[in-house]
Amino acid sequence: MNKKTKITFIVFLVLAIGLNLFILVNAFIPGEESKLVASPIVKLCAAICNFFNHGCVPDPIPDDFIILVRKLVGHFSCFLVDGVLTTMVIYLGFKDKLKNIFLTLISVGYGIALAGLTEIIQLFIPGRAGSIIDVFYDSMGYIVGAFLLYLAYSLVVTRKKEKENSQKE
């Protein structure tokens, strides 16, 4: 691994570990506290929606909107970013050992396991409930992130090889 790749690996590793710890720590937050943590994000999303379509999210904010934001931001989006970061760490760490598709599948397995673990943890936390639907949202976010990275990474590698081949001619 050259110096530039090593630095990139360390940066992505730190970001991935940080996000994974954030996800795990948030699984341990009791229900009422979790709602308080999510409240500013829900209010921000409502304000953005109302900016573009005045009055589309009434005040007080309906429970359906709160649930939608918590599922999209707290589950899907967070795991999407985690899928990108963790898959990048796996690519950079093991790219010489396995093909990218296998590395992506290993990463996806990890993401699904993390999603399941966070929901199992919540079974034992007051005011929280582990949910198979949340495992689905988490896993889908992670899978989308991992495969977006796979596509982008494959495109970059393909273009790099084409450029090298054209320079040889």
- Cα(105)–Cα(85) distance, rounded to whole angstroms? 14
Given pLDDT bands bounded at 50, 70 and 90, which one contains residue 160? Answer: confident
Say if residue 169's pLDDT is above 80: no
The helix, strand and coil proportions of the chain, stated in percent and rounded to the nearest 5, come to 80, 0, 20
pLDDT in tens, 66-107: 989 988 888 999 999 999 999 999 999 998 888 888 999 999
CB-neighbour burial class of residue 55 (10 A; exposed 0-12, middle 13-18, buried 19+): exposed
Q: Which of 141, 139, 165, 107 is nearest to 99 (CA)?
A: 107
pTM over 0.85: yes
Say if residue 120's pLDDT is above 90: yes
pLDDT in tens, 17-36: 999 999 999 999 998 998 88
Q: Do residues 90 and 13 make contact, with C-beta atoms less than 8 angstroms apart?
A: no
- Cα(69)–Cα(88) distance, rounded to whole angstroms? 27
Given pLDDT bands bounded at 50, 70 and 90, which one contains residue 161? Answer: confident
Per-residue confidence (pLDDT) for residue 98, from 0 to 100? 83
